[in-house]
Amino acid sequence: MAEHDKPPEYVEVPPEIRQKFDQLEDSPYWRSLQPLKALVVGRTILSSEAGHSGFTLFLDDGTWVLSYLDEGMLKWLTGAGQPSKEQGYLMHSSVYGDGTASLASRWREMRHESKRLPSKIVHSRGCLQSHGPV
């Protein structure tokens, strides 16, 4: 069984890690993700597209979520049907370069893992399910 096919294992969260989660939950970034959570919990990923500055997940209810980098922060959009061309361009921002290219200093480690983001997104299909609160 491939690693991404294994069901998640649940472990007790140590108190110091729980404290970090609590700090994160108080952040503006965390609050910006809460509307997204309501849209994706319980959905299944049917397909995906990836660029070097973001990706789009197509969900089983005919909606999509596009995540992209903007000013160093991961942001998101959602809609129904297909994203517009302009929205799709957000996944291919020249500002962030090509994230699929390995760094020279890590070439030996990464030479067999080119285009990692698209392959990881592909393996997420059918995996977006809620198992309770984060």
Q: Is 66 exposed, middle or buried (0-12, 13-18, 19+ CB in 10 A)?
A: buried
Asked if residue 63 belongs to a domain, the reply is yes
Tell me the average pLDDT across 123-134: 50
pTM beyond 0.75: the answer is no
pLDDT at 124: 61
Asked if residue 19 belongs to a domain, the reply is yes
- The amino acid that residue 92 corresponds to is H
* Percent residues over pLDDT 70 in the chain: 71
CA distance 82 to 16: 42
Count of domains in the chain? 1
Asked if residue 113 belongs to a domain, the reply is yes
CA distance 74 to 30: 11
CA distance 50 to 37: 20
Asked if residue 132 belongs to a domain, the reply is no
User: Which among 27-31, 59-63, 98-102, 117-121 has the top mean pLDDT?
Assistant: 59-63
Asked if pLDDT for residue 116 goes beyond 80, the answer is no
Asked if pLDDT for residue 82 goes beyond 60, the answer is yes
Whether the Cβ atoms of residue 90 and residue 65 lie closer than 8 Å to each other: no
Whether the Cβ atoms of residue 65 and residue 77 lie closer than 8 Å to each other: yes
Asked if residue 28 belongs to a domain, the reply is yes
Task: Using the structure block, give the residue that is written with the tokens 């129904």.
Answer: 80
pLDDT at 113: 54
Least confident of 69-73, 104-108, 122-126: 104-108
Asked if residue 83 belongs to a domain, the reply is yes
Asked if residue 134 belongs to a domain, the reply is no
Q: Minimal CA–CA distance to 98: which of 49, 54, 48, 47? A: 54
Give the 3-state DSSP-derived string for 92-124, with helices as H, strands as E and coil as C. HCHHHCCCCCCCHHHHHHHCCCCCHHHHHHHHC
Asked if residue 2 belongs to a domain, the reply is no
Q: Minimal CA–CA distance to 55: which of 95, 15, 18, 87? A: 87
User: Which residues constitute the domain of residue 114?
Assistant: 14-123
